[in-house]
Structure 1
């Protein structure tokens, strides 16, 4: 009975949100889309398409479409693991771990980068994630893997693919090396061990590498770009270590990266802390090169829970970036939870800006009515 009531309340909340959005030139978070790791593709002259983790999809990914970023149409499941070139294992942990799809329009076709459990697993690793690529003629699929194996095998589990098509013609893949079996020495780890909380602290790190033009593999060796701070007096250590310092789990994350270029500066947004907890938050770093070195923003985190300020939102993270229909407003698309939605991840869209001094600012999380993107 509790489950039924909870589902009813969540549906009511999301339905009410949709009705409020339709009542005028305003919308209100969260949007009526229930999944994590939202990625938005804007097809010029057409629509916006949103992809994410979970939701209605089983062993694959679903999509939604919109013309205004407020009203979203369910397009159903667009990728199935059991396609003719499928390389993943749907019976592995987390039901195959079909996570974080991102779709890019490239040379007249649509390419989906995603992570999943690789079926080639002779040592029976619990986390055997790799990154794959599937292709379709339409943004609503059906997507078929371009190969019967992942893009590449770095020798450790990887998730959260993000791709940058640079103006110099090169293509770069960014990803997160998982925490799994990756204990790292740091002052935070030493502190946690001294308190008797955790013997080790595992970490995930963001890497970048050049992609082959046909996405069949990588060029050169991956480069480490972002990782949690080693020193406790690092100004980023406090917010990036909350999963450990709150005694939540013995892991520190750097994941969910999204890269873009503004002027002559490369920006990389990333998420830190446990994705299933309240402390999930977003920061950013900048560089003059697509493969770094990246310097973290002084005003991090730029997106985090607001419950300490009287709000209802927690678990803000794994964002993507898009622009309003008129192209004038930059928008941050991310998942979060509210006191009403409970553990269910739902989608938020808030405005973001790059200030004159180069600082990145996200105007969220919000749950009050605001102008529809592009209508200001």
Structure 2
């Protein structure tokens, strides 16, 4: 985790005269027709890309910093430069426990520009832990005047306490001015009855199957808390004949682990339809994959898409990529191309999660597709293909 960059085959690493480290994933010149190639030389899990009001891109993610979060910046989504650590858990209002399991579990930061300031939502281990839970994750929010920080927690406590561990915060700013927080209730101590659980027990594999579910709740305008009670948005299928059950249960059916995840949600609106992308299966395994669901209101009910999963491993098709998941969404510099930013692994990177960027589309019929995972040269975002 200390080493930010891998010297990956096919990439070049250049040192600037100022001593900073720009990272290149480009295989052509900067002119029209230039290409780039996945994976990017950035060792992040759960990557999130912010495009600020000046058109500059900033990437945040899990890893690359001790007791906090690091960031990178780019003008074109291809050349990335390290901005160093931008959030430290030891800030004046820090509420987390850096000595807890997973080194405090500083995971999945997302940064939003709002009223000329920058707000980072993230998850970490809460130091208030009277029952000594192994997974005591909560969601916090920190603020800065610049996208590169330093970020300081708004309060010396999490945004709210639902009474169970939560991760993977995602925020939707709706056009009516309301703000919604989405998150994943962890699998921890959450066994759920289902036909998949019954099947796994009959195999003699697991006594129970724990699940994580995605919830949504309205946020206070100043992010000081939530409004009302959380509403269940997405969960794994109960029935084995559900069309989503096969791909969402692979971590169990491959005997990888006794958990089924629904996490890493990202919500956005297109026209009158709300889309929620989400990740299923074990984030540390080969079967991590992405699907989506749609609704007519921000808090659902959401209906999962028939063409799920829209992003998954390609090794069974002769590729080298596994563990595709926890994505965010951004747009090309010219605003014409929608892009999926996610982490994955390759045969070359091993267990290390690295960042991919691939194009995605929503057709006239509302069908969402992701053109990935790719590892061959493709046109730079916003350039002719």
1:375 shift after superposition: 0.4
Q: State how far apart, in whole Å, the 1-side matches of 2:96 and 2:270 are.
A: 36
Aligned position for 2:48: 39
Q: State how far apart, in whole Å, the 1-side matches of 2:110 and 2:10 are.
A: 24
Say if 2:82 is the partner of 1:92.
no
Q: State how far apart, in whole Å, the 2-side matches of 1:22 and 1:340 are.
A: 18
Aligned position for 1:3: none
Equivalence map 1:1-376=2 (5 Å):
10-13=6-9, 15-16=11-12, 21-24=26-29, 25-55=34-64, 57-376=65-384
1:11 shift after superposition: 1.3
1:20 shift after superposition: 5.9
Q: Is the partner of 1:13 in helix, strand or coil?
A: coil
Report if aligned partners of 2:280, 2:290 keep a CA contact under 8 Å in 1. yes
Report if aligned partners of 1:40, 1:333 keep a CA contact under 8 Å in 2. yes
Q: State how far apart, in whole Å, the 2-side matches of 1:150 and 1:232 are.
A: 37
RMSD of aligned residue pairs (Cα, Å): 1.4
Report if aligned partners of 1:201, 1:252 keep a CA contact under 8 Å in 2. yes
Q: Give CA-to-partner distance per residue, 1:276-310, whole Å, 9 cap, x none.
A: 00000000000000000000010000000000000
Report if aligned partners of 2:234, 2:262 keep a CA contact under 8 Å in 1. yes
Q: State how far apart, in whole Å, the 2-side matches of 1:210 and 1:264 are.
A: 19
Q: State how far apart, in whole Å, the 1-side matches of 2:145 and 2:12 are.
A: 35
Q: Is the partner of 2:222 in helix, strand or coil?
A: coil
Q: State how far apart, in whole Å, the 1-side matches of 2:24 and 2:217 are.
A: 44
Q: State how far apart, in whole Å, the 2-side matches of 1:148 and 1:226 are.
A: 30
1:274 shift after superposition: 0.0
Report if aligned partners of 1:267, 1:285 keep a CA contact under 8 Å in 2. yes
Report if aligned partners of 1:257, 1:269 keep a CA contact under 8 Å in 2. yes
Runs of 4+ residues over 3 Å off in structure 1? 14-20
1:45 shift after superposition: 2.1
Aligned residues: 369
Tell me which protein shows more helix as a share of its residues.
Answer: 1
Q: State how far apart, in whole Å, the 2-side matches of 1:46 and 1:266 are.
A: 25
Q: Is the partner of 2:200 in helix, strand or coil?
A: helix
Q: Which runs of 5+ in 1 are unaligned?
A: 1-6
Report if aligned partners of 1:38, 1:319 keep a CA contact under 8 Å in 2. yes
Q: Give CA-to-partner distance per residue, 1:301-348, whole Å, 9 cap, x none.
A: 000000000000000000000000000000000000000000000000
